[in-house]
């Protein structure tokens, strides 16, 4: 490559990277969706550096500030996809760009943030849908490692990481036993396989606790380390009485009712702070989830029921029934490497739930502040509030309506590009010779 070409490429890359706001910015005359209250019309938002300095009516621009008249457009906190492999998987049909798997069933030492690809073409696509943050994690075995909350823009994984670890990820094994004779394995083999997986989960927690009791009883420097049990130190807090308060939540993916009940019992027995992920049957146990204060990260709303006899509306109504029972909610596009290209449609998943009983304000909160609270980042993001990071976007209308377009976005005060590969290809092929 010649020097002029390299220079041109460098300048092109610099032009695409978000730069910090070097002077105060006042967004005025907008409809502010605060994340914690009803929308405020005619609202102004003052941003200095990476921080929101003021939100309200009649805010004056400081000297030297850039002023943007939103002309009635809507302003939202950055949407949060609370469970995805965004940045970890690029092309589903090719193994190389998929960094979501590891050998073995018990892998608590996997750290999602280290595998994030800042150059993923899917990150700009997600931003066009207002998704400025995502909770990402590997999908390997029963214990998948720790998740990380990331920005959907940044030079490196360090730039992009908001919180890591955010949770320990588990995938609960299927509890179903097929007694019809149509399963490939006999009933005895199915029972044996299920029992083996459940024992692996029990032993992982028990072994981690025993390991840390030994380390605290002995000189830790003299005791050989183990990366797997070291990683679980944040989950099992060992004192004189054994398990005490955990310091890191455990996000367990469980869809069917029998899985959910088993996960609840497991968390109670080991005194784990549980986050339920997926929860297709969550509506069937909504009151108990609310009573136990277990938050739910919903899987894709636009999905089929878990049972052939269930109505098609079951998945759409799940969020509304959970909310009515008082369960704290977040939305996600799910952990599939196939659907990761559709993270931009997160808001439309929420819109489908609104069409089937979830109040619109509750949907907005689940997309923003509710997700931030569940993932432990609410002190920084999730709402338009003085002192929080300026991670927000402007939209042409209500984000729960399909025609709405995201027109501007900022991440931690940095103006970020909304151009993506899909737009570039669209523009290119519109100009093709005819």
Greater confidence (209 vs 92) lies with: 209
Short-list 19, 141, 151, 144, CA closest to 86: 151
User: Would you state the pLDDT for residue 237?
Assistant: 64
Confidence of residue 1 (pLDDT cuts 50, 70, 90): very low
- Exposed, middle or buried: residue 342 (CB in 10 Å: 0-12, 13-18, 19+)? buried
Least confident of 100-104, 175-179, 180-184, 348-352: 100-104
User: Would you state the pLDDT for residue 228?
Assistant: 87
User: Would you state the pLDDT for residue 22?
Assistant: 80
Q: Using CA atoms, how far apart are residues 239 and 88, in angstroms rounded to an integer?
A: 36
DSSP, collapsed to helix, strand or coil, labels residue 62 as coil
- What CATH number matches the domain at 19-77+383-416, 2.60.120.10, 3.40.50.80, 2.30.40.10, 2.30.30.60? 2.30.40.10
Confidence of residue 15 (pLDDT cuts 50, 70, 90): very low
Helices 360-367 and 346-354 sit at what angle, rounded to 10 degrees? 150
Confidence of residue 304 (pLDDT cuts 50, 70, 90): confident
Strand duo 74-77 + 79-84: pairing = unpaired
Mean pLDDT of 406-422: 94
Confidence of residue 245 (pLDDT cuts 50, 70, 90): low
User: Would you state the pLDDT for residue 178?
Assistant: 84
148, two tokens: 């990380």
Percent of the chain with pLDDT over 90: 66
Total count of residues recorded for the chain: 434
The yes-or-no verdict on residue 167 having pLDDT over 80 is yes
- Identical fold, 19-77+383-416 and 79-381: no
The yes-or-no verdict on residue 351 having pLDDT over 90 is yes
**Mean residue pLDDT across the chain:** 88
The yes-or-no verdict on residue 95 having pLDDT over 90 is no
- What CATH number matches the domain at 79-381, 3.90.550.10, 3.20.20.140, 3.40.50.2300, 3.40.50.12280? 3.20.20.140
Short-list 35, 110, 115, CA closest to 75: 35
User: Would you state the pLDDT for residue 4?
Assistant: 45
Could you give the residue ranges of the DSSP H alpha helices within 175-252?
A: 187-217, 227-231
* Extents of the domains making up the chain: 19-77+383-416, 79-381
105, two tokens: 């069933």
User: Would you state the pLDDT for residue 93?
Assistant: 66
Strand duo 414-415 + 406-411: pairing = antiparallel
Whether the CB-CB separation of 341 and 421 falls below 8 Å is answered with: no
Q: Using CA atoms, how far apart are residues 181 and 183, in angstroms rounded to an integer?
A: 6
Best-predicted range by mean pLDDT (18-22, 366-370, 416-420)? 366-370
Mean pLDDT of 308-327: 92
Q: Using CA atoms, how far apart are residues 374 and 167, in angstroms rounded to an integer?
A: 10
Largest CA distance in the chain: 78
Q: Using CA atoms, how far apart are residues 98 and 297, in angstroms rounded to an integer?
A: 23
């Amino acid at each position: 490559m010649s020097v002029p070409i390299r220079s041109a490429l460098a300048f092109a890359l610099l032009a695409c990277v978000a730069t910090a706001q070097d002077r105060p910015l006042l967004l005025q005359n907008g409809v502010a969706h605060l994340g914690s209250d009803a929308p405020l019309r005619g609202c102004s938002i003052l941003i200095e550096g990476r921080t929101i300095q003021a939100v309200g009516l009649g805010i004056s621009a400081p000297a030297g500030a850039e002023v943007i008249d939103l002309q009635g457009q809507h302003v939202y906190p950055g949407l949060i996809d609370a469970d995805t492999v965004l940045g970890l998987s690029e092309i589903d049909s090719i193994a190389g760009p998929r960094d979501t798997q590891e050998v073995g069933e018990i892998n608590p030492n996997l750290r999602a943030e280290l595998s994030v690809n800042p150059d993923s073409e899917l990150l700009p696509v997600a931003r066009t849908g207002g998704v400025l943050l995502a909770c990402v994690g590997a999908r390997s075995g029963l214990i998948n490692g720790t998740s990380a909350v990331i920005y959907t823009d940044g030079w490196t994984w360090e730039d992009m990481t908001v919180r890591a670890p955010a949770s320990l990820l588990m995938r609960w094994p299927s509890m179903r036993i097929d007694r019809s004779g149509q399963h490939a394995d006999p009933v005895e083999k199915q029972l044996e396989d299920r029992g083996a997986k459940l024992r692996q989960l029990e032993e992982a927690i028990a072994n981690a606790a025993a390991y840390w009791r030994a380390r605290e009883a002995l000189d830790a420097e003299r005791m050989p380390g183990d990366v797997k049990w070291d990683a679980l130190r944040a989950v099992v807090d060992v004192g004189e009485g054994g398990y005490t308060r955990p310091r890191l939540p455990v996000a367990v993916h469980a869809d069917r009712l029998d899985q959910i009940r088993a996960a609840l019992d497991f968390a109670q027995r080991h005194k784990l702070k549980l986050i339920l992920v997926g929860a297709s049957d969550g509506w069937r146990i909504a009151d108990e989830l609310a009573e136990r204060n277990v938050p739910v990260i919903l899987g894709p709303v636009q999905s089929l029921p878990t049972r052939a006899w269930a109505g098609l509306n079951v998945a759409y109504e799940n969020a509304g029934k959970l909310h009515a029972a008082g369960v704290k909610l977040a939305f996600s596009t799910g952990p599939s490497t196939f659907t990761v290209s559709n993270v931009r449609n997160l808001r439309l998943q929420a819109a489908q739930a609104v069409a089937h009983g979830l109040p619109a304000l509750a949907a907005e909160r689940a997309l923003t502040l509710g997700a931030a609270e569940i993932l432990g980042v609410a002190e920084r993001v999730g709402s338009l509030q003085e002192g929080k990071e300026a991670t927000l976007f402007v939209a042409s209308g209500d984000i729960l309506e399909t025609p709405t377009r995201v027109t501007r976005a900022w991440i931690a005060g940095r103006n970020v590009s909304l151009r993506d590969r899909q737009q570039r290809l669209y523009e290119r092929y519109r100009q093709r010779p005819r």
